[in-house]
Structure 1
Amino acid sequence: MHRNSNFGTFGGAEKIKDPRPLHDKPFVQQCIKQLCEFLSERGFPGTMSIKCLQSPSTKDFLKIFEFIYSLLDTTFQMPTSKIEEEIPRMLKDLGYPFALSKSSMYSVGAPHTWPQVLGALIWLIDTVKLFTSMKEQDLLFSDFSDGSSEIEDGVEFNKLFMEYTSEAYNRFMQGADTFEEEDQEYITKLKKLYNVDEALLESLAEKHRIVTEEAERLEKESHKDRLMAKRTEKLKLQTDQQKLKDYLCKLESFKTNLESKASGISEELEAAGLQTETLRQEQSRLQHILVNQKFSPADIERINRERNELQQTIDNLSRNLEEAEQHMWNEEIALAKAKERAEVKLGEYHKLARKLKLIPASAENACGWDFEMKVTMDCEPSTIAQYKAQIQNPLRDMISHVDEELSRLANKKLSLEEAVEQVTSIVADKTNDIKQLKEKIRRLDEQLEYDMQESAREEDKWATALESMENHKKLLEKRVTEGYDHAVEQLKAVQQQYHLVLQETNEERRTVANNLHSVFTTATNHMSIVEKFLEDQRKRVDRVYKESLQEDEAELRELKEMVESYIAKADAL
């Protein structure tokens, strides 16, 4: 029966628009949470969190799809080639009503393609759940079972659901695609059957909304990894602490140098003080001599002049001493800075040499050469030049040797890569051929098994129909026999009444005779009608039985021809 509906067939030329709000972020987050819970419940072999499912890689998607599809088909194996074509084809074969493009398989985790792929996975999960529930129970409704298995909802629920399904299907066959009225009526009857409290449902819905908002808030907070931020801050503080320790060590060494220099200067000042004290004693002695002796004015003038000259000499020497001390202090500061720079450069050189495995002499790349510079700050320039010549020549030799080895290995790598590419292409071609042959054999096996199952189901169907017709025939025969016995009993009662009434009056006898005539006419007509109906039913049952036998023979003949063709194809392969 044809119908004017958008959902007539899933394989039509017209593409169906997905009505789900796949671009709504709350809906997508709900689908991701549902997918994560399903994978954890079913024992997914791997760790998969909600954060990973926000934008999964193609590899993770293939693992998830293979795991879910294997729940439907335990023998399923993910194809190794043309994934972008095989996955949409498998979903279409399962009956997925919406189109899934090939380009979406190249970038599964992209923001514009992941919602469509996620919708397909949710539909596949629902299919698995439906398949599992149908597999666990033999019949859909407990009313039709023999009493050995019962559905938890009871007979009343099954009757309501059967009525709702019948009405919705009738509307569907008439061309309708929405069933709001049937859904509303069905929900009303269910609420009445189970005594649903609307106020309680609204309170529970409000609680669910509050809990959902709290869960979303907690998920958003979990995305801000505060522990990682604290760890990063801790590492930064530890690095700053290490830098401060290094700077403190440098200050201690600089302080030690300054203390040693200060002690030397103190010794020089003590020596200068002793010398000054000696000069003062000499001056006092000379002054005593000057007081006690008698000098002429010329001698006094000469002595004063010499004294002034000596005082000027002392002042000049004092200034020269201060300038020398200031110059010495500047030179010591510059020397300390130069030492620090030299130590930093030497440390960087040793660090790089250890990284390149050149230090010590027994290292892997040292080749017996000693590249370590044990330089002290008191060494001469000739020693530094000697270290420079000792290190530069072996390094030049090593660099030239490494360049030659790199060129040789690069050529060898190119040749090996070309050989590997050739072998890989050959192996891929052969693997694809084997996969295609296996796929053809698997499809033929599935077709044969499906045809055999269809044939078995048809045989069971016709046997059930024949048995039903036989039961109906027996029921009709039983009812006819009961009616005939009842009519005979009525006839006997009427005859007895007829004899009694005949004895009373002739008028009553005529009345009884007329009644008996009508009764006999009715019984005769009823019996003739029943016999004709039974004869028609018997002929109809015989005709249906012969037609079913002919159709079964034709289907068996077609099945045999199909099996023979399949065997011939298998032998040819």
Structure 2
Amino acid sequence: MLTDTRSHFQSYRCGNPSRFLLLCERPRCLLGTVCVTGNNGAIHKAPRDSRMRSRKRAGHWTELEYEAMKQENLRLKNILDHQKYSVADIERIKYEENELKETHGKLSKELDDAKQILWGEELKYARLKESVDTEIAEFYKLARKLRIIPSTAENAHGYDLQIDCNLDSEESLHHCRNQINLPLLEMLTQSEDQITKAVNKKMEIQEVNEQLRSMNSDKRNDVKKHKDEAQRLDELLLQKNQDAEEQEKKWASELQSAEKHRQLLESGVSKGLDEAMKDLERTQQELQLVEHQTEEETRQVGNKLIRVVTGVASHVGAIEKLVEEKRLKTEREYEAFMKQDLLADLREILAKYKQKAEILEKPPSQ
């Protein structure tokens, strides 16, 4: 019976080596897969999701095989408990049991580590999914501000930018990315064109605005000048009006004074006329006397003037004679001066210079 049990156990180990090795190596593979996936999960989301599903399936199969192994161990232990063993069989069974316990402990530890890593990866996946949901919410918030969702919005141009995809499917993510990116790129290009046109239009408006400001400033200066001129004219008009009023008052006063004077003259005209007639007679007499005196004085002045003119004429004749003599003398002196050879001395000096030059140019005698 013991021999049958050992042969059955050996046949289990030797006859099914692939299954036994697979059962032993499964947690290690799962642990390595989880570690690699944990390092690269943040870079490639879709492959990581695929590996997550593979790890879940591998973990599930590992648990099933682990349970199967436990059941097999219990069955073998039950068989061994009801059989009779020799000392060598018991020692061999204990040795194999210790090996199995050690293998079981290692597998349990590796399974716990794999579960812990799987839990960490699931937690990372949940956080990443939460972050994606937050970003999608932010995208929706910004899209509503930009009026690009829903498809009937003002700036949507008929594109449906609603994000509706399965985050666990790489194909769905790729399709969703193309569905969102291509319209956004086209809308971005259109927006950049519109912004360029708006900037150019803004620059044109600014140039027109600057011209209008310059014209407005010139007009303001002109208006200010006109206002100053109008104020000056108003002040001048006010001054003229004041002067006219003062002149009018003055004229009225003078007119009143003249009227009073006229009345006084009219009242005393008769008396003044008599006195004037008497003064006229007196004046005529004085005039005759003055005319007589004037004729006498005129005759005397004429005689004196004749004597003065005669003296002046004789003096002028003497001066003319003296001037003529001076002129003749000057002409004679000028003619004498012109007859003199002023260059004679220079010619003599030049001749002497030439002689000395000829002497110096002759070669000395032997």
Higher relative contact order (Cα pairs below 8 Å, separated by 6+ residues): 2
How would you bin the TM-score normalised by the shorter chain?
0.3 to 0.5
> Which structure's CA Rg is the greater one?
2
More helix by share: 2
TM-score, normalised to structure 2's length? Answer: 0.41
